[in-house]
Amino acid sequence: MKYDIVLCGVGGQGGISVSVVIARAAMAEGLKVKQSEVHGMSQRGGEVLAHLRLADKEPASPTIPLGGADLIISFEPLETLRYLPWLNAKTGLVISATKPLINMTGYPDLAKLQAELEALPNKLLFDADAVAREAGNVKAANIVLVGAASRSLPLKEESLKTAIRELFGRKGEAVVAANLKAFDYGRTANS
Amino acid sequence: MVNETLMGDEAIALAAVHAGLSGAFAYPGTPATEIMEYLQELAARVAAGTMPGEQFVAQWCLNEKTAYEDALGASFAGRRTLVSMKHVGLNVAADPFVNSGLVKVNGGLVLVVADDPGMHSSQDEQDSRWLADFARVPCFEPANQQEAYDMTRQAFDLSEKYETPVMIRITTRLAHSRSVVSLQPARAMNPIKKPAPGMDWILMPAVARRRWKLVLERQRKLEDLSSGFACNTYTKGDKKLGVITCGLALQYYLENLDDYQVQRGQAPTHLHIGFYPMPTDRIRELYANCDQILVIEEGYPLVERLLRGIIQPGKKIMGKETGEIPYDGELSPDTVRAALGLSPHQGLAVKELIPPGRPPQLCVGCPHADSYNALKEALLGYPLHAVTSDIGCYTLGALPPFNAIETTVDMGASIGMARGASEVGLIPVVAVIGDSTFYHSGLSNLIDVVSHNTDVTVLILDNDTTGMTGAQPTILPSSRLEPVLKGIGVAPEHIRVIRAHKNEHDKNVAVIKEELAFKGPSVVVLVRECLEAIKKARKA
C-alpha cells in the first residue's frame, strides 16, 4: 500500500496542521510516513507546499514524483492548478477550496480558473471558508478539508479525529470541539 | 527501543543531547534554525525536570563566527559541543572553521551545516562539503532522519577519536522532512578537562606547520577509514552502470530502483557515500567493475570532480558536469529518474493560466512597510540616489508595491556598500538593515562609516527580533541600540529614533529628509515590534 498526498496553499492557511493530523492518524494505524515541508521565506504569503507519503514500507524519496500523487488537498484554487503535474492523471483526486486568495499581480481570470477546476476528472470543490463558518469556526477551513479528505483517505475516521484531539488538546476542550465539528462538516461537504 | 517522529533538524538536536552535549551555539538561518529551536526546547524540558539528564546550554549568538568560536572554547574545556548554521553562515564562520581543522580538538566538536539547494530561502546554493574538503575536516552526509540521528552520535565519537572538528552536512529537504527515528540510550557529558600541556591550540607558524603535517597524516587515516566505513556501502549489480549516490540523493535513486530493475533486469552496481573524505578504494573498485559511472549528488559536483583525481581516465563519467543531472536546483525523484534513463512519469498537464510562483510578502500591518513608504517619499527630491539593503524580511522591499531597495548580497553588506558608493561619489545613499542583521555584521561596517566620516544615512529597521526565520530574539534588546550607536561615535543629534507606523508617516518622512540632507554619518532607527513576534509571544 502506498498513498501520496500533495498539500498546497498560501502561507498562513494552516497547511502544516493538516499534514500533522493525517500523518499522526496514519502512524496510529501502523503505516510508515514521510512528511516534507518548506519553511522560511515561503511562509510570508508565498505558496506553501507539503508532501505527505503514507505506505506500509518506508517511502524512499521525501518528495512525490510527478504523476505520483493519489490526492491533492488544496487551500487555494490557483495553487491547485500549479501542482496538477504531481497528480496521478487517471486515478488522482483533487480536493480544493474554491475561494481565491489574490495577493499577487497576474492572478488568472476567475471564470477561466473555475472552468479548469470543473474540468478535472476526479474532484471535490467547495468553499471551505464558508463551511468552516457554518461549523462556527472561521479559522478551521484547514480541518474542514481534512474532513472532506477523510472520505477518500485510506484511514479510519476515528484515527483522524483522535489526531485532531491530540493536536488541539493543549488549546482546550472548546478548540477541540470546534475542530471536530469542522471535520464533520467537511466530511459531508458537497461539491 | 524508543521511536519518535522527528524532522531532520530535530533528529540532529536530539542526537547531540543523547551524545552528551554540554553546549550548543547558533545563529538563525533557514533551513538550520530548527536545530537550535529544538535544542532550546529540550534544554527547557531538562530544566523543568520532564526530560532526564544534566542541564546543557543552548544559545543563539551574535553571528555564526561567534557561535563557532564559542563551540571551540567548549571543546577546549573538554566538553562536547554543537554549532549549527545555514550554508552561507559558514562563510561568516569560515575563519574559525578552517583554522579549527588544525587544533587538537578536545571535547567532541560537531558543526552542522544546512545547505539550501534550490534556494528556498537563500541567496545562493553553495555546497558546504567543499569547505569540509578544503579544511580537511571529515564530513557526514545523512540520507534520512534515522541517519541524521545516528551520524550525529557517530560524529561526536569520531571528533574525539581523531581530535578533529566534524561536519554534518544536510540539505533543506532532509532538514524539513519528518519520519520515525529510533533512539539510543543517552550518555553522560564529559567532565571538564583541559587539553594536555603542549601548544596544540596555539596556531603560531611553528606550531601550525607541525599541526598541518599531522592533519595531512590524519587525512590519510580518514580516507582508509572511509573505504571500510558502514556509512559508505558498496552493492554489486549490473556492470553496465555504476551509480554513486551521496547523502539524500540515495532516496531519489531508491525511489526509481524498482522500475530500473523491471526495465533493465538488474540493479546497477552502487556505491553510496555518507562519509567523507572520499572512500578512494571503493571508488576505484566501482570504476574498475563498471562500464560507466553516474554520480548523483545534491549541491555542487564534488564527488564527480574529486573522483577524476582518483581513477585513470577512460570510461564515461556522468553527472552535473556532463548534464545528465541538472547543475542547479534541488534533486527530485524525476531528475534522477531521467538521469537513470527511465521514461518520465507524467501527471496532469500544467495549464497556461498559471503565473510563475506567488511571491512572498510582508505581513499586513508590518512596520517595514511603513518604513519603506516613508523612505520612498523622502527620496522623491533626489533623482540620483541609491538604496542598499540586506538580508531579512525587509529584503521583500525589493518587490512591488515597494520597489524600494537596489541591493541584497550578504549579511551586513548594506552599510559597507553604501559607504563605498558614497566615498566614490554616489550621494545620497541609504543603507536599510534590520536590527538583528545590524548586530550580526552591520556594526563593523558602521564603525568604518564613522571613522571616515562618510556621508551615509543608515536606516535600522528595529523590530526587536529576527523575523524571517520565525522571530528568534535579537542578541541585544532595542533599548541598547542607541547607546551602541553613541558609543562608536555617531553624533547624538544624528541618531534619530522614530516609530515605524503609518500614523507617524509625515513626521518620519521629515526626519529621513533631514538626515539625507546632512553630509555625514547618520542613523535613523525605525522602531516597532514584529507582528509575528507578538503572535509568537502570545502563543507561549
Domains of chain B (ranges; CATH) run 2-228 (3.40.50.970), 233-339 (3.40.50.920), 367-538 (3.40.50.970)
Half-sphere exposure of A190 (CA within 13 A, CB side): 0
- Contact present, B11 and B170 (Cβ < 8 Å): no
* B536 CB within 8 Å of a chain A CB: no
Who contacts B202 (Cβ-Cβ below 8 Å, separation ≥6)? none
Query: Which of residues 105 through 144 in chain B touch A, CB cutoff 8 A?
Result: 120-121
- Bridge-based pairing of strands B139-140 and B275-276 is antiparallel
Which alpha helices (DSSP H) does B379-472 contain, by range? 413-423, 435-437, 443-451
Q: How confident is the model at residue B504 (pLDDT cuts 50, 70, 90)?
A: very high
Nearest partner of B501 among B463, B451, B540, judged by Cα: B463
Least confident of A99-103, B33-37, B187-191, B285-289: A99-103
**Per-residue model confidence as pLDDT tens digits over B109-123:** 999 999 999 998 899
B197 lies within 8 A of chain A by CB: no
ipTM of the complex: 0.93
Tell the residue number behind the cell numbers 556598500, with chain if given: B417
B358 with A46: CB under 8 angstroms?
A: yes
Mean pLDDT of A38-58: 78
With CB atoms and an 8 Å threshold, state whether A69 touches B332: no
pLDDT at A104: 83
Strand, coil or helix: B393: helix
B240: part of which helix (H) or strand (E)?
strand B238-246
Residue A45 confidence (pLDDT): 65
Residues from chain B contacting residue A43 (CB–CB below 8 Å): 360
3-class SS of residue B484? helix
pLDDT at B354 (0 to 100): 80
pLDDT value at A46 more than 80: no
CB neighbours of residue A80 within 10 Å? 27
Contact B125, B328 (CB under 8 A): yes
Query: Of all helices (H) and strands (E), which one includes residue A95?
Result: strand A93-97
**Pairing between strand B2-7 and B177-183?**
antiparallel
Binary contact (A87, B347; C-beta < 8 A): yes
Q: Does B502 touch chain A (CB under 8 A)?
A: no
* Contact call for residues B431 and B389 (beta carbons, < 8 A): yes
Verify whether the Cβ–Cβ distance B174 to A112 is below 8 Å: no
**What is the pLDDT at residue B397?**
95
The amino acid at B182: S
Q: Identify all chain A residues contacting B34, using CB atoms and an 8 Å cutoff.
A: 39
Chain A residues with CB under 8 Å of B179 CB are: 32-35, 58
Residue linked to cell 558502514: B230
CA separation for the pair B457, B435 (Å, rounded): 15
- How far is residue B448's CA from residue B417's CA, in Å, rounded to a whole number? 11
Domain residue extents for chain A: 2-187
If one compares A9 and B453, the residue with the highest pLDDT of the two is: B453
pLDDT at A41: 60
C-beta separation of A31 from A5 below 8 A: no
Interface touch A40/B5, C-beta < 8 Å: no
Class of domain A2-187: alpha beta
Q: Please provide residue A143's backbone torsions phi and psi, each rounded to the nearest 5 degrees.
A: -75, -30
User: Is pLDDT at B441 greater than 60 in this prediction?
Assistant: yes
Is residue B42 very low, low, confident or very high in pLDDT (cuts 50, 70, 90)?
very high
Q: Is B285 on the interface with A (CB under 8 A)?
A: no
Q: Is the pLDDT of residue A51 over 80?
A: yes
pLDDT in tens, B306-327: 999 999 999 999 999 999 999 9
Cα distance between residue B432 and residue B367, in whole Å? 13
User: What was the pLDDT predicted at A44?
Assistant: 62
pLDDT tens for B325-350 read: 999 999 999 999 999 999 999 898 87
C-alpha cell at B115: 545547505
Q: Three cell numbers at B86?
A: 545555514
Transcribe B233-286 into DSSP letters: EEE--EEEEEEEEETTHHHHHHHHHHHHHHHHSSPEEEEEE-EES--HHHHHHH
More confident site: B138 or A104: B138
The per-residue pLDDT for range A119-148, each reduced to its tens digit, is 999 999 999 999 999 999 888 999 999 999
| Beta carbons of A104 and A91 less than 8 angstroms apart | no
Mean pLDDT computed over B506-532: 97
